[in-house]
Structure 1
Amino acid sequence: MSVTEEFEQAQADVQGLAARPGNDVLLRLYALYKQGTLGDAGGSRPGIFDVTGRAKYDAWKALAGTEPQQAQRQYVDLVRQLRSG
């Protein structure tokens, strides 16, 4: 299975997790997903009153320079960890 196929399967698997991951893990999943599908974060950082938007942007921006395929692999590995335990 290619990394892209594993990434797509992991996206489906994350929807079926027995327990909802904590906010830190959800932010990491979000950032890895965005980096894996769109590359580096662009645009400006959301305003101070958009706390959720800022957290998401910051998490994604922290992955700047990470190759999309590497981000996809990290996403797959994280979902595997969540599924196993």
Structure 2
Amino acid sequence: MPELLRAGIALAAVVVLILAFGAVMRRFGHGPATRAGKRLAVTESLSLDARRRLVIVRHDGREHLLLLGPAGDLVVERGPLPPETP
């Protein structure tokens, strides 16, 4: 039993170290959540069936409706251009 307890404690210590390393990396700007100036975002996603999905993608103020599937990807609708600021 002591060997099993020691292995459990070692596993818990490794998990804590991995989580701490991830938190430090995010804190200093090396994580996906701290990317500044993002221009591309998935606004919404809807699964049609097991193989196809509708996705609304926003890029520079425009939204595009995409149909993603195994046969290929299709742009269903392109959003209007955002108004230009003087």
* TM-score of the alignment, normalized to the shorter chain, above 0.5: no
Q: Relative to total residues, which structure has the larger strand share, 1 or 2?
A: 2
Structure with larger Rg: 2
Point out which structure has higher relative CO (alpha carbons under 8 A, 6+ apart): 1
Q: Relative to total residues, which structure has the larger helix share, 1 or 2?
A: 1
Q: Normalized against structure 1, the TM-score is what?
A: 0.21
